[in-house]
Amino acid sequence: MTETTDTTPGWLSREELDAARERLPILYVNAVPVRVDDSGAVTKVGLLLRVGPDGSISRALVSGRVLYHERVRDALMRHLEKDLGPVALPRIPASPQPFTIAEYFPTPGVTPFHDPRQHAVSLAYIVPVAGDCQPRQDALDLVWFTPEEAVGPDVQVEMAGGQGALLRQALAHVGRLD
């Protein structure tokens, strides 16, 4: 008996994804793209400018689903390339370890992270990038901020779903937040 091979393994139809989101936590990765100096200290944080489904504009981290049978490292690379372009040159360590795990809930207030579509669990990484970043896909722009600017009220108010809190955790993790 011959089986049909799916040419796009790991992708669900819109209906299948909606059904899964109603029943299961979905695994994601978040990446905080950073520029570092020669000593490895974070000097800049890259934030995407996106248009939401409701037409709102917000700042965002790189994020996306981990596909079935996809390594986390590969998911990170795929989403960084998708959002920052093919010559961003991200430096993911040989054994990537998240700096935290963010749990997004459809019910606001359970954690600082909210996604009205689903319960999602996201492995969060700080990823130095050395190349030229050109936003792609649904990103309108990529702006580099100093760590102080990134956690300032003007930028934080533009971040939705708790991503501002995740950014603050990332900068605290690398010693750039007082």
- What pLDDT, on the 0 to 100 scale, is given for residue 10? 61
Answer whether residue 2 is part of any domain.
Answer: no
- What pLDDT, on the 0 to 100 scale, is given for residue 38? 95
Answer whether residue 33 is part of any domain.
Answer: yes
Quick one: how many helices (H) and strands (E) in the chain?
Answer: 5, 7
Residue among 98, 117, 142, 155 nearest 20 (CA) = 117
Task: Tell me how far apart the alpha carbons of residues 168 and 154 are, in angstroms, rounded to a whole number.
Answer: 14
Say how many domains are in the chain: 1
Contacts of 83 (CB under 8 A, 6+ apart): 48, 62, 135, 136, 137, 139, 142
- What pLDDT, on the 0 to 100 scale, is given for residue 150? 97
Task: Tell me how far apart the alpha carbons of residues 108 and 122 are, in angstroms, rounded to a whole number.
Answer: 17
Task: Tell me how far apart the alpha carbons of residues 60 and 63 are, in angstroms, rounded to a whole number.
Answer: 8
Answer whether residue 69 is part of any domain.
Answer: yes
Q: What is the pLDDT along the chain (178 residues), one digit of tens a residue?
A: 433 434 455 677 888 888 887 888 999 999 999 999 999 999 999 999 998 778 888 999 999 999 989 999 999 999 999 999 999 999 998 889 999 999 999 999 999 999 998 999 999 999 999 999 998 877 899 999 999 999 999 999 999 999 999 999 999 999 998 6
Answer whether residue 18 is part of any domain.
Answer: no
pTM for the full predicted model:
0.88
b/e per residue 60-99 (b: at least 16 CB within 10 A):
bbbbbbbbeeeeeeebbbbbbbbbbbeebebebeeeeebb
Answer whether residue 178 is part of any domain.
Answer: no
- What pLDDT, on the 0 to 100 scale, is given for residue 54? 80
Answer whether residue 8 is part of any domain.
Answer: no
Structural tokens at position 107: 């019910």
Structural tokens at position 70: 């996809």
CATH of residue 131: 3.90.79.10
- What pLDDT, on the 0 to 100 scale, is given for residue 18? 82
Answer whether residue 13 is part of any domain.
Answer: no
Which residues span the domain enclosing 143? 25-173
Residue among 173, 81, 176, 93 nearest 135 (CA) = 81
Answer whether residue 12 is part of any domain.
Answer: no
